[in-house]
Amino acid sequence: MTSRFPYSPAASWPDLSRRRFLQGVALGGTALALGFVPGAPAWGRPAPAAGGSPAELSGTGFDLTIHPQPVDFTGRRRLATAINGRVPGPLLRWREGTEVTLRVTNRLDVPTSIHWHGIVLPAGMDGVPGLSFPGIAPGETFTYRFPVRQAGTYWYHSHSRFQEQTGLYGPIVVEPAHGERYPADREHVVLLSDWTDADPEHIYATLKRHSDYFNYAEPTAPEFLRDVRAHGLQQALASRRMWNAMRMSPADLSDVTGAAYTYLVNGTAPAGNWTGLFRPGERVRLRFINGSSMTFFDVRIPGLRMTVVAADGQDVEPVDVDEFRIGVAETYDVIVQSVDDRAYTVFAQAIDRSGYACGTLAPRPGMVAAVPPMDPRARLTMVDMMGAMAMGHGAHADPAMTGMAMPGASDARPAMARHARTEYGPGVDMRVDMPRDNLDDPGIGLRDNGRRVLTYADLHTVGGPLDPRPPGREIELHLTGNMERYSWSFDGVPYPESTPVHFRAGERLRIVLVNDTMMNHPIHLHGMWSELENPDGTFQVRKHTINVQPAQRVRYAVTADAPGHWAYHCHMLYHMEAGMFREVVVS
């Protein structure tokens, strides 16, 4: 969390047209990324795989070189942080039950790192500078070596300042030792990400000065007139007064939007049309990875039903859906099948509908399908601000902001939250007294959209919990922030002012997270599995990253079986850097 990306891609915001910037260019980053910059080694360069898949390295020994690399995603040449000449980096294919050795060489002029996201390994191999190791100094090679004790879809990325945003990330597929529980005839990795031509340091500084700088969807005068016609002048005025008094906005869905981002599939902008091939009748596994820095994607394939078979690398009982939301750092495996000789669009729209990533599934290269229009941009509701208080007293308490009925809503009085005294300060602009516990909410922008949308309540990990013991104690933490100041924290305490959270080695404990903000936060605990529970305390699904929706309370059990110092943080990159990070010590 200390090193800086020295190659400033832009001193100011791009002046490309909005359509050009969102769609990118057909060339994308591929052509420039196929060759190294002068001075970088040429050995180990992966060749493109057939069918539009990322370049792949497999086996037990890997040589990876991190270096600056020219790319072009938008019509402007920029410097990225590449791995072996690639953005994203090559697909690493491992096998469960083996030991892998990864020699990572740093050709940058600042320290770097790689974290193997979701992989259970010794603390010294986790790749977080300042916690698990000192980082990789310029010109040095660090050797990661650890046993592979799991299977599934994962990814890797830098844990050094904003290098992840500049291209240092890539996919991992771990083949099961005894074959797939849900076999397919072929597979494709679908790695979603967000690219910016601007310097991430400049983006971060801009957010600190003006947190809504990238939000082009603030309430407008025509929208106010529509509210007046729909709900009356007094109610429309009351709604605006309430949001203004709180210094909040019902449009705060994303901090960094399509105003700054081009959204990519496997390093390809929409205009480049990434294509995954299939033969009619085949079962195709799509391994979706959200490798973005700040973007939640809502994913669907119009005309194809998706069967979700794994979440965060762990097999789940199959569930058929039309659409799913994938938070930053999450992974989902789905199986699709078509008997028709036609193309389908893989469509991933940003949560704030400011842009999209897309590609094509097709029997032959060059085929395309229609790209659907983006859904209307939603507004935050009373439920997203007040949680169970709005559910228990009617989600339509303010029709100008809601217009929906929450699943699981009841008139039962919800449990009151316990706020730490550290939450009462300038770093916290909101506290939720009655957070909601339901897991069956697809989230803002997906409620009642006419499609079958995946929720956490649909996910059931095959085999149940890893540890049958009930939790022996409970730790409650609140996700807090102040949007105007762009400060983020746990319990109102940003990371530089915090003390470590201690787990006793071998214990089974429960973590309770309460989201006291109106933004989604994907929370990642390094080194140990997070086993999400139903509100009644029964096991639901095993994950490495758990999204906590606005005004929501979630509970999950953890077995502290990994001694050492571990990172625990929101995986929204700028939220983490702004303070929503803690150290966990298992001893």
pLDDT digits (tens, 9 = 90+) for 206-226: 999 998 889 877 555 566 556
Average pLDDT value for residue range 276-289: 98
**pLDDT score of 475 more than 80:** yes
Q: What percent of the chain has pLDDT over 70?
A: 82
- 274, 360 in Cβ contact below 8 A? yes
pLDDT at residue number 219: 58
Report the distance separating Cα 475 and Cα 473, nearest Å: 7
- 20, 75 in Cβ contact below 8 A? yes
- 509, 471 in Cβ contact below 8 A? yes
- Residue recorded with tokens 């994203």: 88
CB burial of residue 541 (10 Å; 0-12, 13-18, 19+): buried
Q: Is the peptide bond before 302 cis (omega within 30 degrees of 0)?
A: no
pLDDT at residue number 268: 97
Instruction: Render pLDDT for 443-466 as a digit per residue (tens, 0 to 9).
Output: 999 999 999 999 999 999 999 999
**pLDDT score of 559 more than 90:** yes
Instruction: Render pLDDT for 90-136 as a digit per residue (tens, 0 to 9).
Output: 999 999 999 999 999 999 999 999 999 999 999 999 999 999 999 99
How would residue 47 be classed by pLDDT, with cut points 50, 70 and 90?
Answer: very low
Cβ-proximal residues to 303 (8 Å cutoff; 6+ apart), any chain: 338, 344, 369
End-to-end CA distance of the chain: 23
**pLDDT score of 364 more than 60:** yes
**pLDDT score of 287 more than 90:** yes
pLDDT at residue number 498: 98
What is the token pair recorded at 381? 């509701």
Instruction: Render pLDDT for 134-166 as a digit per residue (tens, 0 to 9).
Output: 999 999 999 999 999 999 999 999 999 999 999
**pLDDT score of 27 more than 70:** no
pLDDT at residue number 69: 96
Average pLDDT value for residue range 339-363: 97
- 288, 334 in Cβ contact below 8 A? yes
**pLDDT score of 246 more than 90:** no
Cβ-proximal residues to 143 (8 Å cutoff; 6+ apart), any chain: 101, 102, 103, 104
pLDDT at residue number 584: 98
CA–CA distances in Å: residue 313 to residues 93, 521, 573: 13, 20, 22
Q: Which of 237-246, 294-303, 530-539 has the lowest mean pLDDT?
A: 237-246
Q: Pick the more confident residue, 38 or 517.
A: 517
pLDDT at residue number 386: 74
**pLDDT score of 374 more than 80:** yes
pLDDT at residue number 32: 53
**pLDDT score of 167 more than 50:** yes
How would residue 382 be classed by pLDDT, with cut points 50, 70 and 90?
Answer: confident
Average pLDDT value for residue range 231-251: 63
Mean pLDDT score across all residues of the chain? 87
Give the pairing type, strands 473-482 and 487-490. antiparallel
User: For the packed helices 233-246 and 221-231, what is the interaxial angle rounded to 10 degrees?
Assistant: 130
pLDDT at residue number 491: 98
Polymer length in residues for the chain:
587
pLDDT at residue number 410: 41
**pLDDT score of 11 more than 80:** no
Q: Pick the more confident residue, 515 or 404.
A: 515
pLDDT at residue number 85: 95
pTM: 0.89
**pLDDT score of 396 more than 50:** no
Q: Which of 13-22, 100-109, 317-326, 377-386 has the lowest mean pLDDT?
A: 13-22
Average pLDDT value for residue range 358-369: 97
pLDDT at residue number 28: 52
